[in-house]
């Protein structure tokens, strides 16, 4: 399954606004992370600190991704 991912802030600066990767079904957040890191190794430095949202809702690593879902990856943010 092809998953298109929207990237924000420093992730967008490193890789671009959107990227698409192939993920085996059933796709999960974890399998998507592995596919993203394989396609763009620079993303690996963020690990699970980069938060993923599916259809504008924060996702857990075990959440499923369905065809047509809107997926976004956001870098960690510092609080203060």
Domain CATH for 70:
3.10.20.30
Query: Which comes out higher in pLDDT, residue 77 or 56?
Result: 56
Q: Is there a domain that residue 25 lies in? A: yes
User: Does 31 map to a domain?
Assistant: yes
* Tally of domains in the chain: 1
pLDDT digits (tens, 9 = 90+) for 36-74: 999 999 999 998 999 999 999 999 999 999 999 999 999
Residue pair 43/14 in contact (Cβ under 8 Å)? The answer is: yes
Q: Is residue 39 part of a domain?
A: yes
Q: Kindly tell me if the per-residue pLDDT of 32 is higher than 90.
A: yes
In a domain, 63, yes or no: yes
Q: Which of 74, 66, 67, 12 is nearest to 40 (CA)?
A: 12
> Between the CA of residue 35 and those of 10, 27, 31, 57, what are the distances in Å?
19, 10, 6, 21
pTM value?
Answer: 0.90
Expressed as residue numbers, the domain containing 14 is 2-74
Tell me if 79 is assigned to some domain. Answer: no
């Amino acid at each position: 399954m092809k998953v298109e991912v929207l990237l924000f802030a420093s992730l967008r600066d490193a890789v671009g606004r959107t990227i698409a990767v192939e993920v085996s079904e059933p796709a999960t957040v974890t399998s998507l992370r592995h596919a993203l890191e394989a396609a763009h190794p620079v993303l690996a430095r963020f690990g699970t600190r980069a938060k993923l949202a599916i259809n504008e809702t924060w996702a857990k690593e075990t959440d499923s991704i369905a065809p047509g879902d809107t997926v976004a990856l956001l870098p960690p943010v510092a609080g203060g």
